[in-house]
Amino acid sequence: METKVTRDPHSYARPQEAVIRHLDLDLAVDFDKHILKGYAEYTLQTAPDAKEVIFDVRDLVISKITLDEDTTPAVFSTGIPDDVLGAALTVKLKPGTRKVRIYYETSSDAAALQWMDAKQTAGGKHPFLYTQSQAILCRTWIPVQDSPGIRFTYNATVRVPKGLMALMSASNPQQLSADGVYTFEQKRPIPAYLMALSAGNLAFHRYDDKTGVYAEPETMKAASYEFVDTYKMLVAAEKLYGPYDWGRYDLLVLPPSFPFGGMENPCLTFATPTIIAGDRSLTSLVAHELAHSWSGNLVTNRTWNDFWLNEGFTVYLERRIMEELYGRSYADMLAVLGYGDLSQTLADMKADGNMKDSRLKLDLEDRDPDDGVSDIAYEKGYLLLRTIEDAVGRDKFDPFVKKWFAEKAFKGADTEEFLEFLYANLFAEGSEEDKKVEPKRWIYEEDLPAGVKAPVSERFEKVKQAADLAAGGGKIPAEQTAAWTSHEWVYFLRSLPAKNSPALMASLDAQYKFTQSGNNEVLFVWLMMAVENNYADAYPELEKFLLHVGRRKFVKPLYEAMMKNPATTEMAKEVYAKARGGYHAVTWQTLDKIVK
């Protein structure tokens, strides 16, 4: 058992008394009723005097619980449910109980589960299911001790209709099974937020012994083209941070309703199809999710208050991997775009009087952990690590990060342990470097430290000049933009003034066809500008986008901007009424608060 015990404000479990060590899961997927049904059997590790074990459950129907080989029902009770946390499921133990088997089914509106009709998929012929467990939604599809500080191995049997494939965050099939039954094994202990399942009409494309991609057959050609560099990314990450410890690394391309860009489910990253741009320009997302195989999946934030340890490290690793593959100037562009996001987030937090959440160490007690998901964890976290790197040099910083992963692997880590590790391994508290970096200032105080070194990109300097020229009505020589990646185009649009004349919007669109862009990052920035500048020519495309894509990072700001502009408020409401049914709960729960 881990030595350090921190109370997790988002779980009812009392792991010091009885903690789960292994899960045997057996589930049938019912596409007609939109439920999962079966059992979860846990192998426990208990304190000598343990009288009960507590699980987290939300919207689950528990039919029976048994202990060890005894088939007579055990005594259990479910507490009063909280909207966010769900309820505590308390099971009475007998002396020496080792196993607890919980028979249950999910409710048809389980928040983790997205059930899709055939017509919502690319192929249009088969239904589709996927889960999203992070941060605390695993408890809506499995009764579990749903805390990132608690890890368990698992075996699973999943039954789906014949002809469909099931995949999990584990060793996965590469072919259809004859009877629709699939078995899975995850040998390494993982926290509940990394439990994942998907089922649908899926094909597999193998790149090599280590990597591959799953997608609907209709999407496979584009998907397999886009992610060919996955193995190179894995090699780059291993070179920097030590062996990839999870067996295979495959990608699963989901339907466009997937609420995130990607999710680092072990062995099988879940990804949005909106990164398939046709030119491999948005694959830093793959580097990001792959990087979580070290930062997050090996070394995990102990509670959601330490979320920056997962995401800040991952953004740092992501950019180092991209630098290995495509050079420093490419990684610099990503860093500058990230810094732009961070500045925007800080400005919004200031405007909302919510600077508390601009600290790296969060306080999410009595709040939904989803409230802690912001660019602070990602980009302020990244910037702290980069600031440390700058202060000590890569010669020292790279081995330090590698050692962090090696020493904390399969354990939880919190922010205080990070500081301790930093002072023990890189520079002493009170040293010159410490005074220069001021890590505690970054972690416990609001905003950014004064004098922070912002990332710069040479390639973007030129883009900025081009944007200034265009804003003044000038023409950019075509040979200058010919070699631009989508990152340059994004930066170009962001560098234009916030308010532009109708004539300028129209002429930019005529020249560069932004409304028709096949690159979702470019299209998103352009649609934001369109709403903010009343550029109605783009609204049909905007509506199409909102009806098609459920990725929260895109749709949330778009609806916010539309609600803020009186000219588009009605449209926002109308489109949302049509689109809401196709969004995952993670997305509509956020949007319900915005579109009223």
- Residue linked to tokens 């699939």: 182
Q: Does 311 bind ligand BES (CB under 6 A)?
A: yes
| Minimal distance, residue 172 CB to Zn ion, in Å | 21
C-alpha 215/C-alpha 423 separation (Å) is 45
Q: Does 582 bind ligand BES (CB under 6 A)?
A: no
**Of the candidates 66, 114, 131, 134, which one interacts with ligand BES according to CB under 6 A?**
134
121, 201 in Cβ contact below 8 A?
yes
Q: Does 13 bind ligand BES (CB under 6 A)?
A: no
Stretch that binds Zn ion, among 222-230, 305-313, 491-499, 575-583 (CB under 5 A): 305-313
Half-sphere exposure of 449 (CA within 13 A, CB side): 18
| Minimal distance, residue 314 CB to Zn ion, in Å | 5
Stretch that binds ligand BES, among 3-11, 216-224, 285-293, 404-412 (CB under 6 A): 285-293
Q: Does 261 bind ligand BES (CB under 6 A)?
A: yes
382, 319 in Cβ contact below 8 A?
yes
Q: Does 292 bind ligand BES (CB under 6 A)?
A: yes
| Minimal distance, residue 347 CB to Zn ion, in Å | 23
103 catalytic, yes or no?
Answer: no
Classify burial at 211, counting beta carbons within 10 Å of its beta carbon; exposed 0-12, middle 13-18, buried 19 or more.
buried
254, 113 in Cβ contact below 8 A?
no
Task: Work out the angle between the directed axes of helices 486-495 and 520-532 (0-180°, nearest 10).
Answer: 10
169, 267 in Cβ contact below 8 A?
yes
Q: Does 19 bind ligand BES (CB under 6 A)?
A: no
Q: Does 260 bind ligand BES (CB under 6 A)?
A: yes
Cα separation values, 39 from 3, 8, 64, 65, 532, Å: 31, 26, 9, 9, 51
| Minimal distance, residue 113 CB to ligand BES, in Å | 15
319 binds, among ligand BES, Zn ion, none (CB under 5 to 8 A by kind): none
423 catalytic, yes or no?
Answer: no
Q: How do beta strands 249-253 and 268-271 pair?
A: parallel
Among 60, 6, 85, CA closest to 369: 85
Among 197, 174, 172, CA closest to 184: 172
| Minimal distance, residue 315 CB to Zn ion, in Å | 7
* Residue closer to Zn ion, measured from CB, 19 or 196: 196
By CB under 6 A, how many residues form the interface with ligand BES? 15
C-alpha 456/C-alpha 64 separation (Å) is 59
C-alpha 137/C-alpha 589 separation (Å) is 13
**Of the candidates 289, 323, 324, 357, which one interacts with ligand BES according to CB under 6 A?**
289
| Minimal distance, residue 338 CB to Zn ion, in Å | 12
Q: Does 288 bind ligand BES (CB under 6 A)?
A: yes
Residues in region 181-220 near Zn ion by CB under 5 A: none
3-state secondary structure 458-525: HHHHHHHHHHHHHHCCCCCCHHHHCCCCHHHHHHHHHHCCCCCCHHHHHHHHHHHCHHHCCCHHHHHH
Q: Does 10 bind ligand BES (CB under 6 A)?
A: no
**Of the candidates 172, 314, 345, 374, which one interacts with Zn ion according to CB under 5 A?**
314
- Residue linked to tokens 């964890």: 377
Cα separation values, 468 from 120, 302, 332, Å: 42, 46, 21
By CB under 5 A, how many residues form the interface with Zn ion? 2
Which residue in the list 226, 289, 323, 488 is annotated as catalytic? Answer: 289
> Mask 358-397, x = binds ligand BES (CB under 6 A)?
---------------x----x-------------------
Q: Does 293 bind Zn ion (CB under 5 A)?
A: no
Q: Does 36 bind ligand BES (CB under 6 A)?
A: no
Helices (H) and strands (E) in the chain, counts: 20, 20
Stretch that binds ligand BES, among 28-36, 261-269, 430-438, 485-493 (CB under 6 A): 261-269
Q: Does 553 bind ligand BES (CB under 6 A)?
A: yes
270 binds, among Zn ion, ligand BES, none (CB under 5 to 8 A by kind): none
Q: Sign of the CA dihedral 192, 194, 200, 206?
A: negative
| Minimal distance, residue 134 CB to ligand BES, in Å | 4
119, 137 in Cβ contact below 8 A?
no
C-alpha 530/C-alpha 514 separation (Å) is 10
* Residue closer to ligand BES, measured from CB, 102 or 317: 317
| Minimal distance, residue 120 CB to Zn ion, in Å | 26
Stretch that binds ligand BES, among 25-33, 157-165, 288-296, 425-433 (CB under 6 A): 288-296
Residues that bind ligand BES (CB under 6 A): 134-135, 260-264, 285, 288-289, 292, 311, 373, 378, 553
Residues that bind Zn ion (CB under 5 A): 311, 314
The catalytic residues are 289, 378
